[in-house]
Structure 1
């Protein structure tokens, strides 16, 4: 499974395992850090699939083992038939020990690794899963449990009511339909399954069913049509999907990239979006919610937080993602590259970051993402 593996016994290594969307950007940041560092280190990347656009940014690469058909999620570009093999965490651990890995960021499969934290620690590997216990990661992934834990710690959070059946949904709608509402799955990423509910009546001239189908980016659907779709869904019948009904908050939404250690915020950058433009900076009112949140869940590594303001302007937490966000690379434009801040510290290249010092280094800016491409060559791994 290893390819282009230039093992060195003299320097430490850092490993970025398969992530959701930012693995390439983070590897590029690490290469830039290595180029300016007086202390050399080795950069390793791994993924389940052949991803040359990611692998080209690493010094050594590995193909992670497949665990099951579901591990490929059936939505990937080229699903690969599952093969019996060792667990992913064990494969990575064995290779990491050979490569003298000092820091391992687990990416999308944090819970699998977290269950074996003691084993990685015994091997001298600093494991970054987003938290430091399986229970914490599970409560982060379960948005209903997450909300309840936020309430227990007096953290402002968006309310949510769980439903598993049409009857439960209708009962909740009868109770809460006096306000704008939305729905989303209890677990999920990339806003999959999120919809704003339009309570307009079909006879109301202001309601246009086709408009919701045409302007899909608005993520809006008529309430009755959602009920019908949910009730008659064969997918839901075969694989029940717990859902949440929530108030739709009207204020500005923020994404916050956070470097943290055992519940302490070491560095953070806030960003919000207007149109296609990302506004990068550090918003103190937003961070007043984020800092206690990170402490409450014992977050550890590089995570991202979403907040949204309610109709009174109060910032409420929507969720924590226990992995770096897709926009982690944007932070470099502010003068503070959070990937370099975090890994520079964990690799022992720099002192422990202090949030108050990092804030002084941030230069607010605006960022627009652009489309790019890479040529994919056939290669056997």
Structure 2
């Protein structure tokens, strides 16, 4: 069977490697496309193809359909433009290509908009942090007045973002220069932030939230149209070089299964939690593989392999290895020569 991973995040390289390790019979022919011919995934795919740039979403869908026809793709795992591609599912079904989407187009749009997602998500076992939405300085001050009365520390982040870009803890004591000199990452001076907002008028959608100061958990998952097939919980360490602990917490697994059912999650995805007030709190659903998926797979389940095999043969009866709970895992960099 021919499996295509289009342009995605760096985790595509890891996924290709893990699938190749598990595919002892060579059943799956792995295709990868990317605008950069030196993409890390190009070294592991059976065939690499360049992707065009500058296309509109509609043009990119057409290009993907043409690619699937020409390459006789059986399974397509979308990365780039995954949301709009999910809306074109029927067009791919019509040419015999199964698309391993994480969710429907509507669900993906909701997940990517954290303001809407937080407002609509009801998850008692791991509720979201208290938040307010703001798009101008006046709305920020109103939100700050409401939240600061109940929470000692607050933080901000964009409603639309990846990799945690734009996240910062509001520092009420130090100036931006003092924060910079102290080397404090992900902090911004509240006074400087306020001055900046006052000069900006309206701006992109932002969230002001209670700051959660507990341990962070990352859950790498495989789903089958809303059913959680496999999940590995990684507890992140606050100490550099200490790796991460596999911690299959029952409450976090329960929350993840509930989210999968609510949003019809499918294929490979990741969920992030952080402790606050002595219990886990939901941060976000990443509708894609995480950068740390390789560490999760060290604990037993080969998640990319399970997703592809389940898509090919059906998830019922799929053998999922037990998770080696409690082990410590880490990633180690390795230098390679690019072709």
SS in 2 for 1:343: helix
Structure 1 residues 208-257: Cα deviation after superposition (integer angstroms, max 9, x where no partner): 64342145553112211112233335xx86xx311000000122111111
CA distance in 2, matches of 1:91, 1:227: 45
Q: Give the corresponding residue for 1:42.
A: 29
Structure 1 pair 215/108, CA: closer, same or farther in 2 (3 Å)?
A: farther
Residue 121 in 1 paired to residue 93 in 2?
Answer: yes
Q: Give the corresponding residue for 1:288.
A: 254
CA distance in 2, matches of 1:126, 1:243: 36
SS in 2 for 1:162: strand
Structure 1 residues 71-112: Cα deviation after superposition (integer angstroms, max 9, x where no partner): 8xxxxxxxxxxxxx9822222222223333222110132112
Q: Contact 1:255–1:270 (CA<8 Å) still a contact in 2?
A: yes
- 1:350 deviates by 7.6
Choose 140-149 or 156-165, whichever is displaced more. 156-165
CA distance in 2, matches of 1:51, 1:269: 31
Q: Contact 1:67–1:88 (CA<8 Å) still a contact in 2?
A: no
Which of 187, 198, 218 lines up with 1:231 in the alignment? Answer: 198
Structure 1 pair 361/174, CA: closer, same or farther in 2 (3 Å)?
A: closer
CA distance in 2, matches of 1:248, 1:351: 41
Which of 307, 310, 322 lines up with 2:276 in the alignment? Answer: 310
Residue 26 in 1 paired to residue 31 in 2?
Answer: no
Q: Contact 1:17–1:46 (CA<8 Å) still a contact in 2?
A: yes
Structure 1 pair 376/285, CA: closer, same or farther in 2 (3 Å)?
A: same
Which of 24, 44, 51 lines up with 1:64 in the alignment? Answer: 51
Q: Give the corresponding residue for 2:288.
A: 323
CA distance in 1, matches of 2:226, 2:316: 18
Q: Give the corresponding residue for 1:9.
A: none
Q: CA RMSD in A?
A: 2.4
Which of 240, 246, 265 lines up with 2:228 in the alignment? Answer: 265
Q: Give the corresponding residue for 2:71.
A: 99
Matched residues, number: 334
Q: Give the corresponding residue for 2:244.
A: 278
Listed as ranges, the gaps of 5+ residues in structure 2 are none
CA distance in 1, matches of 2:51, 2:28: 22
Structure 1 pair 148/154, CA: closer, same or farther in 2 (3 Å)?
A: farther
Structure 1 pair 110/117, CA: closer, same or farther in 2 (3 Å)?
A: same
Listed as ranges, the gaps of 5+ residues in structure 1 are 1-11, 72-84, 201-206
Equivalence map 1:159-308=2 (5 Å):
159-178=130-149, 179=151, 180-200=153-173, 207=174, 209-216=176-183, 218-232=185-199, 240-274=203-237, 275-276=239-240, 277-308=243-274
Structure 1 residues 240-289: Cα deviation after superposition (integer angstroms, max 9, x where no partner): 31100000012211111110011110000010211231212422121121
Which of 285, 289, 297 lines up with 1:332 in the alignment? Answer: 297
Structure 1 residues 127-149: Cα deviation after superposition (integer angstroms, max 9, x where no partner): 12310x21110000000111122
Structure 1 pair 224/262, CA: closer, same or farther in 2 (3 Å)?
A: same
Structure 1 pair 365/223, CA: closer, same or farther in 2 (3 Å)?
A: same
Structure 1 pair 30/177, CA: closer, same or farther in 2 (3 Å)?
A: same
